[in-house]
Every structure is written in structure tokens, then in C-alpha cells.
A and B are shown apart, each in its own frame.
Chain A
Amino acid sequence: MVPLSYYLVLSGILFACGVVGFLIKRNIITIFMSIELMLNGVNLSFVAFAAQWHALQGQVFVFFVMVVAAAEAAVGLAIIISVFRTRETLNVDQVNLLKL
């Protein structure tokens, strides 16, 4: 059996990849994918713990996260399309009209 720590390290790596991607990428779609990556990193730790402790709650949490992520993706992609239509760019550094 693969030890729990392996899952957690992988989960941490995935999450860190997501964070770094979120911070350094300028394209909104890429940023969006990074968010998904972070969510999945978290999901992985949930299921790992669930398997370890034989607790169903972790599995259930993952379903919830997935549902929310799907909803978020739907809304987020709609926003992205709308932004692209008005600004003709997906570069977040240029979407800064609310800046002081």
C-alpha cells in the first residue's frame, strides 16, 4: 500500500504548481486552469485521508468540490468570454479598469 505521505506530497506539489501558475501566468484561461489544479490538489489530499481513515466524509467533500468547480467553470468561462468580447484581450494585466 502506498503510504499516505506520498499522496500528500503529490497533493502539495499539485497545489504549489497551481499557485505558481496563478501568480506568473497572464492569460486568464491559464490562470483558470491553475485554479482547477489547486482544487484538484486539495481533492487528492481529501481522498487520501478518506482512504487512510476509512471515513466517507472526505469522499463526499470531493464531490462537493467538483460540483462547485464545475459551476465555477461555467460562470468563469462565461465571464472570460464576455471580457474577451469587450476588451479583445485575455491578458489580466490589461484588464485593470478598476485600478485606482
Chain B
Amino acid sequence: MTPNLHLWLVPVLPLIGAAINGLFGKRFSRPTVTAIAWGFCGAAFAWALWAVAQFVSAGAAPYSEVDAHWIRAGGFQADFAFYLDRLSVVMVLVVTGVGFLIHIYAAGYMWEEGGFYRFFSYLNLFMFFMLTLVLANNYLLMFIGWEGVGLASYLLIGFWFVKDSAAAAGKKAFIVNRIGDFGFLIALFLLIRHFGTLNFEQLSASISPMGMETAGTGLLTSIGLLLMVGACGKSAQIPLYVWLPDAMEGPTPVSALIHAATMVTAGVYMVSRSHFIFDRAPSAMMAVAIIGTLTALFSATIGITQTDIKKVLAYSTVSQLGYMFMACGVGAFSAGIFHLMTHAFFKGLLFLAAGSVIHAIGGEQDMRQMGGLRTKIPWTFWTMTMATFAIAGIPPLAGFFSKDEILWKAYSSPFGSRLYWLIGVTTAFITSFYMFRLWFLTFFGEYRGTAESGHGHGHDAHSGHGHGGIHESPKVMLIPLVILAVLSVCGGWVGINNRFENFLAPVFHAGRTAALESASAAAGEATQTAQPAEPQTEENGNETLLMAVSVFVGLAGLFLAWILYYRRPQLPQQIANAFGGFYQAVLNKYWVDELYAALFVKPLLDGSTKILWRGIDQGVIDAALDNSAEGAREVSDTMRHMQSGNLRSYAGWVAAGAAVVIGYMVWMGTR
């Protein structure tokens, strides 16, 4: 039996930090604020490490603790209870570890900014909610974390709230997430209605005996689809991905922590956590896989044309999240989580390095204004190079292992198909291409910006920077870069010989019965049209072949970017001109924002303005109130003339009134 791990400390420590900085931070000096934020976040990391060590040494059996009762209504109960199994171990280490590194980095990045204490208070608050989400032992507590990270994300995107675009981006993120949360909530209601509990272990136990829903629809399928709606919102998948690129209005450490490494992967975590539902709902699985695959390809193509360094990374994040969902959709949850982890390393690093670049040249984010920075900021260059090669899937870096695992599963899993694999490989090629495009544009060629000659310019809040000239970032920013670079290189090695998959296997195979395994295999084959099952002996050969293909496309992307953006930099413009309309469509992100604006935002806005506000609120509710007040005043206006102050007219009224009363009584009496 595992000793009491006091898991509740892991989320609560950052909460204390958030409270101290949020309430009193205004009076603290910057070093004090930093010390508090680092201290509590680091303490959470340390406690998580300790808890994981205890957990592993006790045999890695799932551990659950109930810290306080929360809701007990009839047969239903939800507690403040935390749960640690192999899946949450991975998540909690990624969240606290990467989160702590980004805290360190942020102190350097935000040093010159106003609202320093506010920033760290929000950042710690985010850690609290994210750890609650990850460690919760029931969906309801998870939902608190889920909503809380949305709140923290909103606050941090709109950190520079005096900028209209930042405030609007924050609102957009919040509202789009609400749409997803709606689906999540309904899924929870369905679970309560049919199973009477939201506890993961109990749900798993009561769903495990159920068979596959092969008919295509059913309770588990609907729950799965609704959960996927929630995951689409949080993890920025089609059709709810639109908020993530806009979220780049936030400070860069926020983009790294929330919108690349941790929060946006919550959807993947939630789907993996609900594997016992998805396992039995092949239609829902297929929806997940299709959404993931499409998102991966779709946003990767947008990434090619973006010129803002953070926007490229944002679309790349959406695309990589698509990969993770593709993995979940083909039943390879552990591959999805593996990619989640390596992605947290290299994408967090990419964002932080991009922030370092932005910092170096005084707030410029447009890659057309960069170039030739390789020698000026060597540390940033080398760490970013690691991350770029990692995301492009070049062995032996982290991205290669996880991406290859996903592609192999997409090809070989009973739920997979060659089409997924084909799109996945295409996406891998595009990913490699736009990442190296970013790399060449930023670090090679001639410097095209103006920061050298004058002081900072551009549209980030860094424009107010006091020092002109290109400069390497301070050590406090470089150390996290180096650590993450090491992780981006080595992080994938845990996946060699399927060690990572085997580590997670007890989680994902716990509820699967042998019958279900064969049923899922059969169902998978039904979806795999006319594809004969690969004989076991060919599998290894196939895997090697597919691996070679994905390495090849990664290198091809590098080569193409090298030609277009290093050897012959005038070519891209010609190609763009040749493609004309298509290029415009991609450049304008397929006009999805405009489409949504026309389809949803404008009708809603018009409806609310014209019908609900002008029509009902002003026309009916306000009018009823105003008119009754007006009526009362008019009546009083006439009546007040009775109050003349003339004593005799009062007496007259009394006499007349008495006469009327007496007359009435006489009339009644004589009738």
C-alpha cells in the first residue's frame, strides 16, 4: 500500500503563491514577487517528484486519496479527491516541470513589464488549475480545473488589456472554449444520469463489462462525441481552433506554457483519461481520428504562409495537437500522450526561443524583419535549432520518436487506415518545411530589421524597451532554454523499445477484456476497407520502412526550405504569385474567421442588438417601466391640484365625500 502522498499539496502550493502575489504583490519588489512565484511553483514540482518517486517505489499501483467531501446528494457523490496513476504521473511531471522552467524564463522576459506581480499571480493560478485538472479523480473536479485553466488563459491572453486586440483575443478564447465546455458538461450529465458517478475508477469499473457499440450510435458513442466537443474547444481542433492563433496576443511565456505545452493538451489528456468510453465507441473514435487528422493537415498548411513568428508556432501547435488526437482516435492513447510530452518539450522550447528572439530585436515578431540572427544570439539559435529538428522529426530527437509512433499506429492499428497515415506523413512534410522556413528566415541570410540602428519598435509591449541593438537574452532566460533543449533531444529516448507505451499500458488496457480486444480488431478491420491484415512477420519491416519515409519527408522539408529561403530567396514570391488564389486563401487562413464572423458572430450580435437589446430590453422591459412611471406621474399631476392649500376646498371635498357616502348608504337602505 502506498503511504499517504498528500497529493493535494501539488495544486495547492501554486494557489498559495497566486494568493500571496495577487493580494500583496503590489507592495513587493520584483525579486520578492519572483521568489514567491518560483518558490511555490518549484515546491509543487518538488512535491510532485517526491510523490511520483513514492508512487513508483510502491509498485506504481493507482493511488487515490479523498481530501474532503464536496457533493453528496442521494447516491451521487463527488469529492475533492486526487488520483495518481501512470497517466497522471506523466502529466503532472510535464506540467510542473515545464511549468517551473517557464516560470524561471518568464521572470527574465517580463522583468521590464508593468503588472509584474499580476502576471506571476495569474501564472501560479494557472498551475493550480492545471494540476487540479490533471490530478482529479472525478470528472467534476477535472471540470473545475478545466474551467479554471480557461480563466487563467483568458486573464493571461488579455494581460496587456489596454491593447484592443489582446482584450478581444482573450474574449474570443473564452467564448470559443465555452462552446466546447457545453459539450463536456452534457457528457457529464449523461454519465451521471446513466452511471450515477463521475469517479474515474467507478466509471471504468461499470463501463468495462459493456461491449462495443458497433451499431454506430449509442450511449457511449454520444458521450464520447460530446467529450470530444469539449476537447475540441480546449485543444483547439476543427472547428473550434480559431482562438489559439489569436491567443498569441498574450506574453510569450504564456504562449509557451498555456498555449503550447500544457493547457491545450488538456483535451488529449481528457480523451485519454476517458479511454474506457472511447474504446467501446468506434464511431466516436473515428470522429476523433478524423478531426485530428484534418486539423493536423489544415493548420499545417496555414502555417506555411504566416509571417508572424508566434503565429507560425501557434498553427504548428494546432497541427501537432491534431496528431495527438489522431493517435487517440486510432486507439493509440499512449502514443498520443508520448507526443504530448515531447511536444511540451520542443514546442515550449520553440516558443521560449521565439520569445528570446523577439526580446533580442526589441519586440519585432515579423519574420520578414529578422534574418541573420545566428551569430548575434548563438544560445537562442542553437536551442531553437534543437527544437526545430525535434519537431521536424529528425532522429534521434524527441519529435521523431513520438511522431513516428503515431504514424505507425495510424497505419497499423485496427482503428487506423492508410489514409490517416498518408495525411500524417504529408503533414509531417509540411511541418518540417514551415519550421525550417521559420528557422532560415530568422537566423540565416541578411538581417532585414531596423533594431540595430534605432531603438525597439514593433507591436509587442517590448517596444518600450530601453536598450536598442540586438542582444542575447539574460541567463535567467537561457537556462530554461538549455534544459528544454536537452529534453527535446533526449525526451524521446524513453520511447525506444516501446518502453513508454509499456509504462502506460496498465492504464489503457485495464478495462479491456480479451473479447473487447478481438471485437475492436474486427471492427477496425471493417473500417479498414479492403485492407488485408498485415502478417506478423512483415510488421517489423513495415515499421522500418514507414520510419524511413517519415525521416525522409522531414529531410525533404528541410531541403525545400533551404532552397526556397536560403539559396533562392526570390523563389517563394514567384511561387506565391503562380498559385495566386490558393495562396491568398491560405494566407488569409481560408477565411475561416470571416466565415465564422458571418455565420455565427454577426447573426448573434445583430440578434442580440436588434431583438434582445433594442426590441425586448428597451422596447418591452424598459418601456413597461418607463410608461408606468410616466402614467403615475400624469395621474399625480392632475390629482395634485386637489391639494390646493385652501382650507375651505378641503372642507368642501370632505362634505362632498360625506354626502356621497351617506347618499350611497341611504340608497342601499331604501332598496
Contacts and interface: CB of A to CB of B under 8 A. Distances in A.
Interface in A31-45: 31
Contacts of A98: 645
Interface of B: 640, 643-648, 651-652, 655
A95 B643 CA distance: 14
A19 B644 CA distance: 20
A92 B648 contact: yes
A23 B655 contact: yes
A24 B652 CA distance: 10
A31 B647 CA distance: 10
21 contacts: A22-B651, A22-B655, A23-B648, A23-B651, A23-B652, A23-B655, A24-B648, A31-B647, A92-B647, A93-B646, A93-B647, A93-B648, A95-B647, A96-B646, A96-B647, A98-B645, A99-B643, A99-B644, A99-B645, A100-B643, A100-B645
A19 B656 CA distance: 11
A21 B648 CA distance: 10
A25 to B, nearest CB: 8
Nearest to B644: A99
Given A23-B651, A92-B647, A99-B643, 10 more contacts: A22-B648, A26-B648, A92-B648, A93-B646, A93-B648, A96-B645, A98-B645, A99-B644, A99-B646, A100-B645
Interface in A1-43: 19, 22-24, 26, 31
A45 to B, nearest CB: 13
Nearest to A25: B648
A19 B655 CA distance: 8
Contacts of B646: 93, 96, 99
Interface string A72-100: 00000000000000000000110110111
Contacts of B640: 100
Interface of A: 19, 22-24, 26, 31, 92-93, 95-96, 98-100
A31 B120 CA distance: 84
A22 B652 CA distance: 9
Contacts of A95: 647
Contacts of B643: 99-100
Contacts of A22: 648, 651, 655
A88 to B, nearest CB: 18
A28 B646 CA distance: 13
A99 B650 CA distance: 12
B172 to A, nearest CB: 58
A89 to B, nearest CB: 13
Give the 7 A-B CB pairs with smallest separation, nearest first: A99-B645, A96-B645, A92-B647, A100-B643, A22-B651, A23-B648, A23-B652
A92 B652 CA distance: 14
Contacts of A99: 643-646
Contacts of B648: 22-24, 26, 92-93
Contacts of B652: 23
Nearest to B643: A100
Contacts of B645: 96, 98-100
Contacts of A93: 646-648
Contacts of B651: 22-23
Nearest to A34: B651
A98 B644 CA distance: 9
A86 B559 CA distance: 110
A99 B648 CA distance: 13
A26 B648 CA distance: 8
B639 to A, nearest CB: 11
Nearest to A20: B655
A89 B463 CA distance: 84
A39 to B, nearest CB: 15
Nearest to B655: A19
Nearest to B641: A100
Nearest to A24: B648
A96 B651 CA distance: 14
A19 B658 CA distance: 11
Give the one of B644, B646, B651, B652 with max A CB within 10 A. B651
A22 B656 CA distance: 13
Give the one of A24, A98, A100 with max B CB within 10 A. A100
A24 B651 CA distance: 10
Nearest to B648: A23
B664 to A, nearest CB: 18
B46 to A, nearest CB: 78
A51 B644 CA distance: 44
Contacts of B647: 31, 92-93, 95-96
A83 to B, nearest CB: 12
Contacts of B655: 19, 22-23
